[in-house]
Structures are given as C-alpha cells and as structure tokens.
Amino acid sequence: MAAVAVSVRHGFSKQRQAAIRLMAGFGVVGDAHAGVNVQHRSRVARDRGQPNLRQVHLIHGELHDELRAKGFAVGPADMGENITTRGIALLDLSEGTRLRFPSGAEIVITGLRNPCAQLDAFLPGLTQAVLGRDADGGLIRKAGVMAVVTADGTVAPGDRLAILAPAAHVPLRPV
C-alpha cells in the first residue's frame, strides 16, 4: 500500500497517517464515514437507516499518475480515499473480494465509488477525468472502490495485501 488517511469531518480530502485502525462492521476509526449505517451526506438525506457499504474508500495510485499526466495536481488522500494502493487493479476486482492485511484486518469490496460533483468542486474537470468508456461504449468509473470492514486491525503504508477472490466473479457496480 502507498498511503492511508482519515478525516474526522465530512470534507473532501483526508489527512495522511502513519497508520489507520479498522473496526469490523464500523470502518476506519476516527473517520467521518465510519458507522454501521450510511454516513455519506447525500445517502443519509435519502435514508439514514440503510447499511453503510462505504466504510472504506480505496483508490489505486496509478489513477493519481494518470490524472497528474492530464494536469491535475492530486495525490494520496486528496480525493477522499482512506487507502491508496499500488499494483492492484482495484476496478477489476469482483464484488465480495476480500483484502487481508498483515495485522489480520480484512475488508470486503462492495462496489465502485460513483464520481460526484465534489470532485469538480475540488478541481474543475476532475469528475470527467475519472470517467471513461470501454470498447462497447459502457461507462467506466475510475474513482476507486468501496468496502466494509470484516476484521479488526491496523493498516499502514507498505503493508502487503492478500487478495481473496470469491468463487464467481461479480462485476463491480456503484454503491
């Protein structure tokens, strides 16, 4: 992993940390988006009782590289992610993929982050920059993946992840 981050407030970017603590069924300790029920403001407005499928936000560091090449000054934690990875094709993982950390912490991928207007408020044009099209014209959302925490533990930059794929691949969809 390249970086970890947390924010106690419902802002956009997070602050990089030496380590973060994950709590099963809750999320990143000290992060505004942690909780059993949904914490993202737009979703709370619709139904605050729905389960929080977005306890942890991950972005692949290669996206930052791609965006910097397009002129966007972004790096780890700038786009609100808790975990920045390197060398993992996050967008190609299956729903239900488990990521296990050396501490024993484990998260399960629930789906894609749906890019929102907050990206453009941070840097004009960023929303469009994290969208693409596949060969068939289908929309590709590149703004990362979301997960829930299933086992407690501490996570730090440099940790190597074990990737445990489910038996059947289920393509990621926005959550």
**pLDDT tens, 18-51?**
999 999 999 999 999 999 887 665 554 566 678 8
Express each pLDDT in 47-62 by its tens digit: 667 889 999 999 999 9
Is residue 20 within 8 A of residue 56, CB to CB? The reply is no
Q: Which SS3 state, helix, strand or coil, does residue 17 take?
A: strand
CA distances from 79 to 14, 33, 123, 137, 152 (A): 8, 14, 10, 26, 24
What letter does residue 104 receive in the DSSP assignment?
S
> What is the model's pLDDT at position 145?
98
In this prediction, residues 108-113 reach a mean pLDDT of 97
In this prediction, residues 152-164 reach a mean pLDDT of 97
Place of tokens 């794929």: 165
Q: How far apart are CA 9 and CA 55, in angstroms?
A: 14
Taking the complete model, does pTM exceed 0.85, yes or no? yes
- Measured between its terminal Cα atoms, the distance across the chain in Å is 23
The neighbouring-strand residues paired with 16 are 5
Mean residue pLDDT across the chain: 93
Per-residue H/E/C for 40-102: CHHHHHHHCCCECCCCEEEEEHHHHHHHHHCCCCCCCCCCCCCEEECCCCHHHCCCCCEEECC
Overall residue count recorded for the chain in this entry: 175
